[in-house]
Amino acid sequence: MSDPRAQELFEAMVESVGVKAFAANMDLSTRQIHRMLNGAQPEPLGRLVDALFAAEPDEAHAALDHVCSRMGGYFVRTIDNLDVAHVNAVKESAEAIVAISEGKSPRVEIKEIREAISALATLERRLTSGTGPVS
């Protein structure tokens, strides 16, 4: 499966440091990188996307979370079925943010924060698309 956006992003990654440096950092030859850039050989970003879609969602999300954490972030997915519990998670996280900003230390697990961020992203997407806050 060919992913034009993955190819475009891969090309930008290579261009950001140059073919020689990119090849050296990947422990590959410049010839291999050129073959990937020309489409004669699959590039790794497209292969990663294919691998994620080939796996079960929970395992694919765990892999994405690993990649994101290696880059200093977290994978946050949007929620398909936003319900009242998700909206409440957003409210509870907002309360925790206020408490933290006031110097209080509420017990909030990173998992709860990430779930709230997912719900908030989904809520924002629904509100801007006009489909409403809760399904």
Give per-residue pLDDT as tens, 71-88.
998 887 776 776 776 677
Given a cut of 80, whether residue 95 has pLDDT beyond it is: no
Q: Report the C-alpha gap between 19 and 24 in whole angstroms.
A: 8
Render the burial of 17-52: b for 16+ CB within 10 Å, e for the rest.
Answer: eeeeebbeeeeeeeeebeebbeeeebbebbebbeee
DSSP state of 79: P
Average pLDDT over residues 54-70: 93
The pLDDT of 85-103, averaged and rounded, is: 75
CA distance 126 to 97: 23
CA Rg value for the chain: 20
pTM comes to: 0.66
Residue 104's pLDDT is: 76
Q: What is the pLDDT of residue 28?
A: 96
Structure confidence at residue 86 (pLDDT): 66
Average pLDDT, stretch 99-105?
77
53: left (phi over 0), alpha (psi -120 to 50) or beta: alpha
From its phi and psi, is residue 103 left (phi > 0), alpha (psi between -120 and 50) or beta? Answer: left
Q: What is the pLDDT of the chain when averaged over all its residues?
A: 84
129 band by pLDDT with thresholds 50, 70 and 90: confident
Percentage of the chain surpassing pLDDT 90? 47
Of residues 80 and 134, more confidence is placed in 80
Is the pLDDT assigned to residue 133 strictly greater than 70?
no
